Each structure stands twice: as structure tokens, then as C-alpha cells.
């Protein structure tokens, strides 16, 4: 059997084609960086295509692990591309950390195996024989990667700058770094540090190691001792989250910092032994890409490695509840609309009339959902009264509409920024561009709700035009597990009796004029319903008198003019009096109005 193993990292991608009968290497391939989060669709296709073009024979099985595979959506994206390049070939897809662990031989007397990686970045990954997996660190060089080359470099540069200020001159290590970077004066470091890439920054670490070894440099030595302490502390903490006291742990070391600097590594090993006496510590003896080969070899075996990094703080119980989230029916939003079958040929006037005629059907569809909308508004009012929140979650257009409605509450009703929140699959980037695979990330939805610390006080509204977005179901499932009230808002009536949400708002807007483009009627219906929920919930929470916004936040000239008019209407005061009352009460409409009423009395 011929096995192809692929390991994608931040710097390069390695591939091995192996005859599994005797582990003979038939072909070795090296290609560009393989961090899935940093690869466009075109770049990923090109990378896999480059590997495939260099193989002398087709593989029978494939194991592949890329950096950046953190979610269901990531895994499915990579799986699709592997299937397109090697149709019909069984494959297992993972992340690069699990691949590295698979490359290490698991000692029979160890209950837990923990990988410590320190190179450009750093990370710890532990797994128990019972299948549990825990990750510590690996959050990038700005807020994480403790004890990595980047961490060493940043601490060194700051120390050099501080000592230079105290002594009015660069220390020897500073001069070494200027020489390494081909710079003529210390001021050049300022501009360089602002534009240097992560890899360029990490390269300084080799200068620090050399200075520590050759002359016991006064800056390099204490910094490296501190880095060794950080790495050992993180990896022991990772073990403690998985192993019971007394259980033996196998620590596996990998990455250029640990594999190329023996004195430093000895220090790390000593500290690990002190922190976890029941341990066996050793460097990874073969390249991580062999782990991808091992994963492929086990395909079909129950011991196959987990296919992706599980999210933190998500329970197995929640996973089980979500097992049948799958679509219950094809959504009407995906059907072809017979009225617009000739849309591309219609004169503009007729196309405009057709679109507006279709939009005119939306209010009646929403009105049919009045009972569910009323229930939702009452629950949101209850949540606000009890210190809870309204949280929207969605993907694509649905997610953007939720974020939009949430963002309009603070200026309209002077609410705290966290009272009404929007969660969109893929995070900030997805607000203005599509994030591939984000909608399919069920575990990402669970994690988003866990990270917002949702509780029984909250109301969570999942928005999905078709009802088919796994991210939204992940949000709803985790919210329900935590006791929150859950509402599904979608345009697929087949979800009427779905057991997961507490209530479903399901306007049947039917097929779109442009087939499948749910930013049209489904999007319009969604915006109208969100308007109803927040406007009426705020009204019934005391934020409105009559039809006036008494908690308006007048943050610009237009809104200040509006605030003056509202105070005039509420109190009968003239413009100057209303303006003065607002200025005297910090431009709080409610307080200014009450002050004028009291003055009259």
C-alpha cells in the first residue's frame, strides 16, 4: 500500500510518499507554507497541485495535517481540496500538532502524551489515551507564543533598548544584532521593528543563542533562562489538565528552538522533570510529516487521531445533542422562482416592478409569525430586566444583519455595548468579506457562545435564511445547554417543530428572484423582524415614551437637534430652555426632561 503524508507548517510544507510494506520512501517533496488560515483558495489548490505533480505514483491513502486547521469548517475545506486532487483516495485530515504527536512513538507506560513545540511560534498539545485533547498557547507572537523565537527576540530588543538608555550606549548583544541585520545605527531598529515580519523577527533568536553560548552574554543568558521557565511551565500545565497525579507523562519536544539548541533544551528538560517528576522527556526523533503517514496507515482503525483541534470548554453532552441538527428539508430560499426565470432578459422597468412586487409579499409572511415574535420580545424584555442580554448569531448576510441591529442599539437607546450583541461566523473579517468554511463550523458556534459566557439570563437568536448553517446550530445548542432561551429565525417553515430552539420564527418568503440569493427577500424579512424585536423590547423596557426615544445618545449635531426636539415635545419647553436643560444634564434626554418637569411643579 502506498501512503502519502503531508505536513503543512507556517514556513514550508513537507510531503512523503511511502511504501507501507517496509516504510521505503518513494518520494520527498518540499513546497511553500501550509497554514490553512493564510492560504487563499487559489493558493491552496496550487500548493496541493504542486505536490501531486511531483509524485511518481498515485497514493492508496493520504494523511494530511496543516497549521491553521482549528474547526469543522477548516477541516471540510481541506478535505474538499484533497478529494479534488486525489479523487476516491481515502484521506484523514488533521492539524499539524496532532500530526507531530503521531510521529512520536507512544510509550506503553505513559497515560498522557504532550507535545511541546518551540520554533518561530510555540504551542503545547496534550492527548490522553481516552481520547481527550488539550491545547495550551499558540496564540501568535503578539499575545502568545511564550518561549518561542519571536518571544526571545522581542524580549531581547526591549532589554537592549532599556540598557542602552541607562548606559548611554549599545551593549555587545545590541551590536551583534545590528551586524546581523546589516544596520549602521541603533535608530534603524525602530523602523525595522515596525515592519518586520514574524519570520524576520524570529531570526534574531539565533543571535541571542550564539551570544549566550560563546560568551555567556549578560542579556542573552537571563532571557533564555526565563524562556526555558515559560516553556516548561506551559507544558507542565498542559499535562496537569489531562493527567491525574502520579500518572506518567511522555513529553515530546519539537521545533527549531528545542532541536537546535542543546544547552537550552537541557534546561527545559530539567525544569519539566522538576515540575512533573513522573515524566519521560525526549525530542521528536523523526520529522513530523511521518505522523501524517501514520494517521493514514490507521485509517479505519478506532485509534485514528482526531481530525481537528477540538474547541475548548465545549462539552461532549452538547456535541451529542447536536448530532441531528442536519437539514430537515430543502429550503424554499434555494428553489428557483418561476416568476423570474427570464430575469436576465427583462427590461429594467419590468425587473424593478417584479422585485418590488415580490418584496410586497414579505409583511404578510412576517405577520403570520406574530405569536412567535411576541413571545421572543417578551423573553428579551425579561432578560433585560434580569441583567441578561440579547445575542444574535448568524453566518454571511444573516450574521451581518444581526451585528447591524446590535450596533444600532447603543446610539438609539443608550444601551451598554454588550446588552445586544451580534456574533458572525468567521469573526470580524466576515463583516466585509466571505470567510471560507465559517458557516460550516458547528464547533465554532459552540465556542462563540461559550466565550460570551452565555447563561440562563440571556436570549440567543440564531439567524439562518435556509436553516442549514451548522455554525448557527452550534450556537443554539450550546446556548440551550447553558440554560438560555433560544430562538431560530429562518425562512424555512420545515423547522416548525424542531426540538432544539425554544421558539421558531419562520416567515415563508419563498424562492428568491435571483435563485439562492438570500440577501434579497430573506434578508429583508430578517431585518424587519430584528427591527421588531429590539424596537419593541426597548419600548417595553422603558426606553420610549409615546414614540419618542427618551434614552437617545446624541453623539452628533443631527442627534443633538433631535434630542432638543424630544425634550420640547415631552415638556412643552422652548428650544433655548430645552437646549440648556440638556447641557446641564450631560445631554441625557430623560434627565433633562425630568428636570424641566420638576421645575414646573
Looking at the chain, the whole-number percentage of residues with pLDDT higher than 90 is: 66
Radius of gyration for the chain, computed over Cα atoms and rounded to the nearest angstrom: 30
Report the percent of the chain where pLDDT is more than 70.
Answer: 95
Predicted confidence at residue 187, as pLDDT, reads 86
Confidence at 85, pLDDT banded by 50, 70, 90 = very high
d(C-alpha 11, C-alpha 8), whole Å: 8
Is residue 305's pLDDT more than 70? no
CATH topology of domain 547-600: Helicase, Ruva Protein; domain 3 (1.10.8)
Write down the pLDDT at residue 329: 59
pLDDT digit string (tens) for 103-139? 988 888 888 999 999 998 899 999 998 888 899 988 8
Instruction: Give the pLDDT mean for 37-42.
Output: 86
Helix/strand/coil for 215: helix
Q: How far apart are CA 167 and CA 176, in angstroms?
A: 17
Q: Report helix, strand or coil for 439.
A: helix
CATH 1.10.8.1080 intervals, the chain: 547-600
Per residue, the 3-state secondary structure of 510-540, as one string, reads CCCCCCCCCCCHHHHHHHHHHHHHHHHHHHH
Helices (H), 360-469: 362-367, 370-385, 396-407, 409-413, 442-451
Task: Give residue 302's pLDDT band: very low, low, confident or very high (50, 70, 90).
Answer: very low
Q: By three-state DSSP, how is residue 38 classified? A: helix
Q: Rounded mean pLDDT of 272-281? A: 91
Looking from the CA of 322 toward its CB, the CA atoms found within 13 Å total: 25
Which of the pair, 266 or 304, is modelled with greater confidence?
Answer: 266
Q: What is the pLDDT of residues 364-419, one digit of tens each?
A: 999 999 999 999 999 999 999 999 999 999 999 999 999 999 999 999 999 999 99
pLDDT score recorded for residue 325: 54
DSSP 107: P
Distance from C-alpha of 18 to C-alpha of 24, rounded to nearest angstrom: 6
* pLDDT value for 360: 96
- 307, pLDDT greater than 70: no
Q: Would you say residue 438 has pLDDT above 90? A: no
Q: Is the pLDDT of residue 293 over 70?
A: yes
**Between 72 and 554, residue with greater pLDDT:** 554
DSSP assignment, residue 287?
-
CB contact at 8 A, 425 and 436: no
Q: Residue 292: is its pLDDT beyond 50? A: yes
Name the β-bridge partners of 154.
none
- CATH 3.40.50.10490 domain locations along the chain: 316-544
pLDDT of residue 342: 93
What mean pLDDT value characterizes the chain?
Answer: 90
Over 50: is that where the pLDDT of 37 sits? yes
Q: Which CATH class is domain 316-544?
A: alpha beta
Burial of 491 (0-12, 13-18, 19+ CB in 10 A): buried
Task: Give ranges for CATH 3.30.420.40 in the chain.
Answer: 2-102+291-297, 107-284
Q: What is the pLDDT of residue 318?
A: 45
Query: Around Cβ 212, how many Cβ atoms within 10 Å?
Result: 22
- Provide the pLDDT confidence category of residue 563 given band limits of 50, 70 and 90: very high
Q: Which residues of 329-354 are buried (b: 16+ CB within 10 A; e: fewer)?
A: eebbbeeebeebeeeeeeeeeebeeb
Query: Does domain 2-102+291-297 sit in CATH 3.10.129.10?
Result: no
Q: According to the model, what pLDDT value does residue 45 have?
A: 94
Is 3.30.420.40 the CATH number for 107-284?
A: yes
C-alpha to C-alpha distance for 402 and 461, rounded to whole angstroms: 9
- Beta-strand (E) ranges in 219-363? 249-254, 279-283
182-122-49 Cα angle (round to 5)? 85
Q: Can you tell me the mean pLDDT for 471-493?
A: 95
Within 13 Å, how many C-alpha atoms sit on residue 210's CB side? 11
Strand pairing category for 390-394 and 249-254: unpaired
User: Which of the residues are catalytic?
Assistant: 408, 439
Note the pLDDT of residue 157: 95
Per-residue pLDDT at 575 exceeds 80? yes
- Over residues 78-96, the mean pLDDT reads 92
Amino acid at each position: 500500500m502506498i501512503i502519502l503524508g503531508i505536513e503543512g507548517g507556517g514556513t514550508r510544507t513537507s510531503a512523503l510518499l511511502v511504501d507501507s510494506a517496509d516504510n521505503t520512501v518513494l518520494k520527498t517533496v518540499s513546497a511553500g507554507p501550509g497554514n490553512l488560515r493564510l492560504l487563499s483558495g487559489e493558493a491552496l489548490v496550487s500548493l496541493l497541485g504542486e505536490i501531486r505533480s511531483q509524485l511518481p505514483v498515485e497514493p492508496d491513502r493520504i494523511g494530511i495535517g496543516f497549521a491553521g486547521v482549528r474547526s469543522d469548517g477548516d477541516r471540510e475545506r481541506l478535505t474538499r481540496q484533497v478529494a479534488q486532487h486525489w479523487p476516491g483516495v481515502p484521506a484523514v485530515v488533521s492539524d499539524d500538532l496532532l500530526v507531530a504527536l503521531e510521529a512520536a512513538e507512544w510509550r506503553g507506560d505513559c497515560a498522557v502524551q504532550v507535545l511541546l513545540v518551540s520554533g518561530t511560534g510555540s504551542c503545547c498539545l496534550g492527548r490522553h489515551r481516552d481520547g481527550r485533547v488539550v491545547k495550551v498557547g499558540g496564540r501568535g507572537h503578539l499575545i502568545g507564543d511564550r518561549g518561542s523565537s519571536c518571544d526571545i527576540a522581542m524580549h531581547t530588543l526591549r532589554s537592549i533598548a532599556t540598557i542602552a538608555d541607562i548606559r548611554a550606549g549599545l551593549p555587545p548583544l545590541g551590536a551583534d544584532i545590528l551586524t546581523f541585520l546589516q544596520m549602521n545605527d541603533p535608530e534603524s531598529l525602530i523602523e525595522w521593528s515596525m515592519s518586520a515580519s514574524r519570520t524576520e523577527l524570529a531570526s534574531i533568536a539565533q543571535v541571542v543563542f550564539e551570544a549566550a553560548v560563546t560568551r555567556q552574554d549578560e542579556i542573552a543568558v537571563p532571557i533564555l533562562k526565563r524562556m526555558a521557565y515559560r516553556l516548561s511551565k506551559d507544558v507542565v500545565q498542559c499535562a496537569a489538565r489531562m493527567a491525574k497525579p502520579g500518572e506518567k507523562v511522555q513529553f515530546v519536544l519539537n521545533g527549531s528552538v528545542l532541536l537546535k539548541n542543546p544547552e537550552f533544551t537541557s534546561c527545559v528538560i530539567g525544569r519539566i522533570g522538576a515540575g512533573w517528576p513522573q515524566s519521560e522527556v525526549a525530542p521528536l526523533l523523526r520529522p513530523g510529516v511521518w505522523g501524517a503517514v501514520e494517521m493514514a496507515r490507521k485509517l479505519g482503525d478506532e485509534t485514528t487521531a482526531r481530525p481537528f483541534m477540538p474547541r475548548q470548554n465545549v462539552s461532549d453532552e452538547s456535541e451529542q445533542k447536536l448530532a441531528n441538527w442536519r437539514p430537515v428539508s430543502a429550503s424554499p430560499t434555494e428553489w428557483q422562482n418561476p416568476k423570474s426565470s427570464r430575469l436576465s432578459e427583462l427590461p429594467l422597468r419590468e425587473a424593478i416592478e417584479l422585485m418590488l412586487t415580490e418584496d410586497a409579499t414579505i409583511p404578510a409572511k412576517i405577520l403570520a409569525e406574530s405569536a412567535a415574535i411576541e413571545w421572543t420580545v417578551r423573553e428579551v424584555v425579561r432578560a433585560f430586566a434580569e441583567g441578561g442580554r440579547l445575542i444574535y448569531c448568524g453566518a454571511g448576510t444573516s450574521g451581518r444583519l444581526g451585528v447591524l441591529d446590535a450596533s444600532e442599539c447603543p446610539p438609539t437607546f443608550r444601551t451598554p455595548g454588550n446588552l445586544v450583541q451580534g456574533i458572525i461566523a468567521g469573526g470580524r473579517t466576515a463583516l466585509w468579506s466571505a470567510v471560507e468554511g465559517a458557516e460550516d463550523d458547528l464547533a465554532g458556534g459552540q465556542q462563540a457562545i461559550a466565550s460570551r459566557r452565555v447563561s440562563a439570563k440571556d436570549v440567543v437568536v440564531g439567524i439562518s435564511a435556509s436553516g442549514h448553517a451548522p455554525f448557527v446550530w452550534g450556537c443554539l445548542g450550546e446556548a440551550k445547554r447553558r440554560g438560555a432561551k433560544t430562538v431560530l429565525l429562518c425562512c424555512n417553515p420545515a423547522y416548525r417543530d424542531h426540538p432544539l430552539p425554544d421558539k421558531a420564527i419562520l416567515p415563508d418568503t419563498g424562492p428568491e428572484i435571483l435563485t439562492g440569493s438570500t440577501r434579497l427577500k430573506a434578508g429583508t424579512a430578517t431585518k424587519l423582524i430584528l427591527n421588531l424585536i429590539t424596537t419593541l423590547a426597548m419600548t417595553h423596557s422603558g426606553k420610549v415614551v409615546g414614540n419618542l426615544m427618551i434614552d437617545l445618545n446624541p453623539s452628533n449635531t443631527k442627534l443633538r437637534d433631535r434630542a432638543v426636539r424630544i425634550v420640547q415635545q415631552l415638556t412643552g419647553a422652548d428650544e433655548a430652555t430645552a437646549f440648556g436643560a440638556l447641557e446641564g444634564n450631560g445631554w441625557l434626554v430623560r434627565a433633562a426632561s425630568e428636570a424641566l418637569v420638576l421645575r414646573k411643579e
